[in-house]
Amino acid sequence: MLNCDYVFFVSPLIYHTFFCYFCNCKTIIAKPVPSFFLQTDNPMKSKIITLLLLAVTAFNVRSQAQQQPLFQMPVVPDSIVLLYDRTDYLLAHYWDFCDIKKAFSARDRFRGAVVDYFSLMPYGTVDGVKSSIATFMKKVSTGKEPVQFVADIAEATFYSDTAALASDQLYLMFLDELLANKKVDKNTKLRYAHQKRVLEGSQPGQPASALTYTDPIGTEHTFAPDTTKAGAIIFFNDPDCSDCSMARLRIDADILSRTVIEKGIVDFYSIYPGDADAEWLQSAVSYPEAWKTGAAPDADQNWDIRQSPLFYILNRDGTILAVTANVNEVIDILGRLAQVSGHAPSAFSRNRAKASSTETQPETQP
């Protein structure tokens, strides 16, 4: 899951939080970085990158109309040298020379300008982006139609299944503005409020939301963290999803992963976010006995499961440590837990340690 927040940095976050917690380390909380993406303290590199971003943005706006640009682009002062500071300036002044009413009359060109504006956000700071979004939403609040037009672009860019720049954090900033905007009708606000509640409750650092599921024999269960375990992994998957089937096979086929689950070091939940129908049951009865398997048709009311497969990594208290769609990361976590808990066969321990050393150390020349 490519997100410009904790999920974007999923690998180091998972490894640090999960294993430091398991080993009773006191420093388990990963702090968010001050800006969304790449930053650099090299003034020349910063200027070059910012100029490239500005050039690409200006070109995209101009290319939509060969006669003249939709509006004039701002010029970042040379006195601002750091990449994220220059981006913040560009975001803050992006719409200074734009007449929103006039620009909105050319819908396709205005859409292109908005998309270009959004594409700059990952390079700015959290405060800079948040302030820019607030200013922009006030400027487009000339009527219900422009506000909804921008809201739809934001949802498609940051939140939808086909999002070009998927980011929970950026979309949450827009949701805050939309929920406070008087031009958004009540019914639409209800949908945005639901999205906000689910997204916020599914972020790392939040306690796991309620989850009630029905197992293959028809018994209803409610998820509850087990403090005697190292943690839990909730695997949302679908029997019709080929990637889900591959993820299930890979986890079950991996010796270390299977050992950790069977020994009860972690609780492993396989949850289908749908009805416990015959099709699911036919597939679920073949899942490993050590897995806690169930169907939860209302799961999406509390959990953000826009994609499948999806893994939520929880600590022993039920706090979300990370979210990932990458089964390789989950297998690596389970394998490392097998090692630190003393349940890994010596040959596998040596191979995993050797592989890890090879990844982190450069080769030496004789």
- 214 with 181, same domain: the answer is no
pLDDT score for 178: 98
- 226 with 181, same domain: the answer is no
Looking at the domain assignment, is residue 21 inside a domain?
Answer: no
Q: Which of 142, 177, 201 is at the close of a domain?
A: 201
What residue numbers bound the domain in which 320 lies?
206-360
Looking at the domain assignment, is residue 280 inside a domain?
Answer: yes
CA distance 120 to 304: 26
Q: Name 266's bridge partners.
A: 231
Question: Could you state, in chain order, the average pLDDT of each consecutive group of 10 residues for the chain (366 residues)?
Answer: 34 42 34 42 57 57 58 93 94 95 93 96 96 97 95 97 92 97 96 97 96 96 95 96 96 95 96 95 95 97 95 96 96 92 62 50 44
- 268 with 312, same domain: the answer is yes
The CA angle 305-306-311, to the nearest 5 degrees, is 40
Looking at the domain assignment, is residue 170 inside a domain?
Answer: yes
- 40 with 187, same domain: the answer is yes
- 197 with 210, same domain: the answer is no
- 87 with 139, same domain: the answer is yes
Q: Which of 167, 183, 201 is at the close of a domain?
A: 201
- 146 with 248, same domain: the answer is no
**Strands of 292-295's sheet in order across:** 220-222, 212-214, 292-295, 266-272, 231-236, 310-315, 320-324
pLDDT score for 90: 96
Q: Is the pTM value of this prediction over 0.85?
A: no
Looking at the domain assignment, is residue 296 inside a domain?
Answer: yes
- 222 with 353, same domain: the answer is yes
The CA angle 3-4-9, to the nearest 5 degrees, is 80
Looking at the domain assignment, is residue 8 inside a domain?
Answer: no
Q: Name 313's bridge partners.
A: 233, 322
Is residue 52 within 8 A of residue 38, CB to CB? The reply is no
- 148 with 230, same domain: the answer is no
Is residue 31 helix, strand or coil? Answer: coil
- 271 with 136, same domain: the answer is no
Number of domains in the chain: 2
- 129 with 153, same domain: the answer is yes
Looking at the domain assignment, is residue 182 inside a domain?
Answer: yes
Looking at the domain assignment, is residue 161 inside a domain?
Answer: yes
Q: Which of 158, 178, 201 is at the close of a domain?
A: 201
pLDDT score for 161: 86
